[in-house]
Amino acid sequence: MIGRDDLKAAVGAGIVTEAQAASLAGLADSRRGARSDLAIGDEPFELFKGFNEIFIVVGLLILSFGWASFVGIAYASQISNPQQFALLYGGAGTAALWLLSEYFVRRRRMVAPAIALSILFAINAALAMTAYFAQPFMVAQADYSSLPWPFAVGTFTLVIYWFRFRVPFAMAMIAVGCFIVAILMAATSQGTPQSPSDLFLLSAGGPFAWITLLLGLAVFAVVMMFDMSDPHRVTRRAANGFWLHVVAAPALVNTIALTLLDRDANWALFGVMMVFAVVAIIIDRRSFLIAAIGYILALASTVFDGDSAAMTVLLLGVILLLLGAFWEKIRARLLRLLPRFVPLHRLPPSNI
């Protein structure tokens, strides 16, 4: 391990410059982050490094609210040319957020401001592209054929943002953007779904349920590429994987869970969740399992009623506590049972 004193000695010996030593120290701090105090085998998670980051996020939110109010007043006076307005103020917002990201993300390497700036960048891009490309009168008549293009362009600008600043949370928003574009394209070609449940029920008409399921599999494949390239989870690829798991799990489980709950097949749903639990334990991702279970709890408490749904929720709670207490021991046994063709060297190592 190379410490601060080693870097100072390297500067004194002329091996590296002071700027290079500072960059190395900053890189080490950003990679270590919340991992320095983690228990062995725990999953790294970091939303902010200190209250100063929360202070900055509050400032960004207040600044954004003021900017939105200013833009709203300006829009009311220039409503005759919405496309020119969208280019002017959308471009100004993009430039301001980009410069703020250069300072707070690339230079200061702050976590919470990076999340806030990526969210604001996505909102700004979506609103600007929608104002430029969409046709309000068509949308008012439930004709959404003008919406896929602006959302696609907005998602692409977010991809550019990610390539520049590598904010892990932006990966989750890119995945969500892809879902929105796919659903809007399906609604344009197949017709608007009659109810929100049509988006997830396999028995409903239209391709919506299959789209969410296939996109969930695609996101899961991408997240496994990130995870398997960093099995020890010491780089930013692990953080990218964390946020993508939060999107992939609900996307995979929503169609299956809602279809089974609609048919009162609660025990079948329980079996499906056991499969999700086994997958989560093998890949050592608690975020994948908690996102899936959280989505099912939301469905059971808001969409469905009854004793069977309550029993399913109760059992999921018990199992979640047991997994939290004995995760590492269960994982060690599962890994020993896996066949030889499974690339265990690309998975997080067991500590038991």
CA distances from 162 to 114, 123, 280 (A): 11, 15, 26
| pLDDT attached to residue 30 | 55
Number of independent structural domains in the chain: 2
**274 against 172, higher pLDDT:** 172
Last residue of a domain, one of 175, 191, 207: 191
In whole angstroms, what is the distance from residue 259 CA to residue 178 CA? 23
Mean pLDDT of 162-182: 90
Query: Do 257 and 185 meet the contact criterion of CB atoms below 8 Å apart?
Result: no
Locate 138 and state its tokens. 């068509």
- Whether residue 23 lies inside any domain: the answer is no
In whole angstroms, what is the distance from residue 253 CA to residue 280 CA? 13
Mean pLDDT of 316-334: 84
Q: What domain range is 296 assigned to?
A: 193-352
| pLDDT attached to residue 173 | 92
- Whether residue 217 lies inside any domain: the answer is yes
- Whether residue 87 lies inside any domain: the answer is yes
Query: Torsion angle, CA of 53/72/92/181, rounded to 10 degrees?
Result: 80
From 71-75, 188-192, 232-236, 314-318, the region with the lowest mean pLDDT: 188-192
**38 against 252, higher pLDDT:** 252
Query: Do 49 and 33 meet the contact criterion of CB atoms below 8 Å apart?
Result: yes
Looking at the fold, whether 199 and 81 belong to one and the same domain comes out as no
Looking at the fold, whether 105 and 118 belong to one and the same domain comes out as yes
Looking at the fold, whether 272 and 307 belong to one and the same domain comes out as yes
Looking at the fold, whether 179 and 203 belong to one and the same domain comes out as no
- Whether residue 256 lies inside any domain: the answer is yes
Looking at the fold, whether 244 and 336 belong to one and the same domain comes out as yes
Mean pLDDT of 273-296: 83
Locate 179 and state its tokens. 């879902």
Last residue of a domain, one of 140, 171, 191: 191
Looking at the fold, whether 159 and 214 belong to one and the same domain comes out as no
CA 238 remoteness from chain centre: 12
- Whether residue 324 lies inside any domain: the answer is yes
From 80-89, 167-176, 253-262, 296-305, the region with the lowest mean pLDDT: 296-305
Residues 6 or more apart whose CB falls under 8 angstroms from that of 207 comprise 186, 190
Looking at the fold, whether 262 and 278 belong to one and the same domain comes out as yes
Percent of the chain with pLDDT over 70: 75
- Whether residue 39 lies inside any domain: the answer is no
User: Could you read off the pLDDT of 99-149 as tens digits, one per residue?
Assistant: 999 999 988 888 899 999 999 999 998 888 887 776 655 555 555 666 778
| pLDDT attached to residue 97 | 94
User: Could you read off the pLDDT of 84-101 as tens digits, one per residue?
Assistant: 777 788 888 899 999 999
Residues 6 or more apart whose CB falls under 8 angstroms from that of 241 comprise 223, 224, 226, 227, 230, 285
Mean pLDDT of 214-238: 86
From 9-13, 87-91, 137-141, 268-272, the region with the lowest mean pLDDT: 137-141
Looking at the fold, whether 202 and 333 belong to one and the same domain comes out as yes
Looking at the fold, whether 217 and 180 belong to one and the same domain comes out as no
Looking at the fold, whether 179 and 200 belong to one and the same domain comes out as no
- Whether residue 72 lies inside any domain: the answer is yes
- Whether residue 143 lies inside any domain: the answer is yes
The reported pTM is 0.76
DSSP-derived 3-state class of residue 7: helix
Last residue of a domain, one of 165, 191, 217: 191
Looking at the fold, whether 227 and 351 belong to one and the same domain comes out as yes
Looking at the fold, whether 183 and 257 belong to one and the same domain comes out as no
Residues 6 or more apart whose CB falls under 8 angstroms from that of 62 comprise none
